[in-house]
Structure 1
Amino acid sequence: MKVPMLDLTEQYQSLKGEINSSLEEVMSGARFILGDNVKKLEKDVAEYSNANHGIGVANGSDALHISLLGCGVEPGDEVIAPAFTFFATAGAIARIGAVPVFVDIDPKTFNIDPAKIEEAVTEKTKAIIPVHLYGQMADMEPIAEIAKKHNLAIVEDAAQAIGAEYKGKKVGELGTTATYSFFPTKNLGAYGDAGMIITDDEEVGEKMRVIRVHGSKPKYYHHVLGYNSRLDELQAAVLNVKFPHLNEWNKKRRENAAYYTKLLHEKLGDKVTTPYVEEHNYHIFHQYTIRVDKRDELQAFLKENGVATMIYYPKPLHLQPVFAELGYKEGDLPETEKACAEVISLPMFPELKKEQQEYVVEMIEKFYKEQ
């Protein structure tokens, strides 16, 4: 049996007529930048997130970068972030000329450990980026308290977490801004690059809208140095068709995750560590990530037997060559480094079949029986 990490074909086939019709409408109307589709998506995603403003941008990486600029981060400032995340989190900080300050994670949830944040705050700290990794929100209340105490902005990196909740609150409700990625593999994916920023802050929201269009307001009058980072109409049209299905897709992911966990506990017991979900969280399982011994050998075995897997992430950001000048060394963030050596993500998408999951677990069981 072949089990892909992700299969978007079935989703497309189920929405093909509606998607193609929406794309044809955009082509016929011949308005391709910041038109009605973008406005609708911005409004709908903001309302979904219980926020007042949605700002569509070119991708999730730009969403982070523009958010930090909107929050007033400048060259030389420090921004606290986890090192167990995709590069874009820290890349957005560094491109401003600010300094990423990496802290360790909670080994259970893989999210930033609030207990480590306070000790990392200095006079230069301007913001915190909690990453809601794999679809589970970070522990936001203590993070919000630290931010309030030290007058820091919070930019929630929710690239993997649209639809997730924390103690009944949506992404963005406890942050200054929150950023979404609509990369095709995400729970809500476009057919190319796309992203969005949400915020309740009128001033920050307006600043970010100006930044995304070369810093101009009105057109051709430039008061700040901005970027060309706009969500285009074609991607927004696709996302508008998909968006009403997001909650159902997230529900199916949760059902698939529960089935994986049941099977793994039954077949492998304590040989694998299944995802830990905080009781107060609504985890939307962008990834289903387990901890295992002999991770690399398991991945190779699964590949040989037709099962695709991914490692998010094999090398922590504080040990990446591009950040060598920051002076971090192996052992500085032990939980992060341990996770990088043990995590493996199994196939996860709403259309995943039970028999596919059963085969994945069967192959994992077979690997450990042969050890």
Structure 2
Amino acid sequence: MKLSSIAPLAIALTATAQASYINYTTVTGYFLQDEASTDASTFDYTTTNFGLINRTYPSDNPDNDNNLLTQWERFHHHITTLNHLSPPTISYKVLFLGRHGEGYHNAAESYYGTPAWNCYYSLLTGNSTTTWSDADLTPSGIQQAQIAHSFWSHQIASQRIHTPDSYFVSPLLRALRTANITFSDLPLQPSSSSPFTPVIKEFFRESVTLHTCDHRHNATYIHSLFPEWTFEKGFREEDGMWDGVRAESNGAQDVRSKVALDEVFAGDDDDDDGVGMFVSVTSHSGEIASLLRVIGHREFGLRTGAVLPVLVRGEIVGDALEPTGTGTRWETSAHCTAPPVTSVSSGCVCASSAVPVTTPLVTFAG
């Protein structure tokens, strides 16, 4: 008998040794966000029941009064049934992909303009009024996380939604803050950690660019802010991925996103009963875009603070496949050494005295 709490895919993966490969697909027909007709730029998860489509499921029991069950209760039962009926090599999980609320780096990019931000200001640690290295949330970002908290609270009370069984969060400060505001003090599932204690996972971080907002604090500092939270096994004290010079390509990011997703599906971050069927990942726009590519979901941009649920099917298929992104994995990019002359949609123009370089500019702007 296949029980959702035993993580059968992890058992099957162990049985087939290191040569196995998990193939991911998005199972469509359950969320509005899966449909091409849904406009990501105007979609609001708080007014659409997280986008869950009002429909019947093959697992609905006609002998019971389904009117007594909410859409989310019937959906949870359906996912449980899918897992129960599938072979050990297949597993279904619902990923709640949450983007962090607005950070000071987002506000700075809006202020300076994207071209100037990318070629100069993003390489600084901040300006005379604020810091955006490993950016914290702005007041607006805090409010966005509070909206998510209120909506989860409403869904728990009105829809009796099955809250995530496991929680993962990027190690960058804006994601840590968002997760804490969103999920603390909610009546979570008994199967999840209570109080809220997510796993901090390195590979769920934002795309690693030259920008200082992508340079995380060390583990000691993170622990001082959230002492009860758990670091994944092998989490390093210092950030070994960011150097202020190179940026990872989309292919390279997709490789590490798949590694993180493989660990979630295989239950590597839990020593007991696996991660469960409903999984929360609080992350970033670039990383969520990467995860969507890995699972074959259509492109769906999230506004700061938004949440995207996706039903994912993971299947162990044959021998290990050659990973993508093994070509040019990291890239350098020339940038101005002084504020640019112009910042327009067509690009950034450096001052004649500011010869572009490829070395870090980790200093404060005046």
TM tier relative to shorter chain: under 0.3
- Highest RCO, 1 vs 2 (Cα 8 Å, sep ≥ 6): 2
TM-score using structure 2 length: 0.21
TM-score using structure 1 length: 0.21
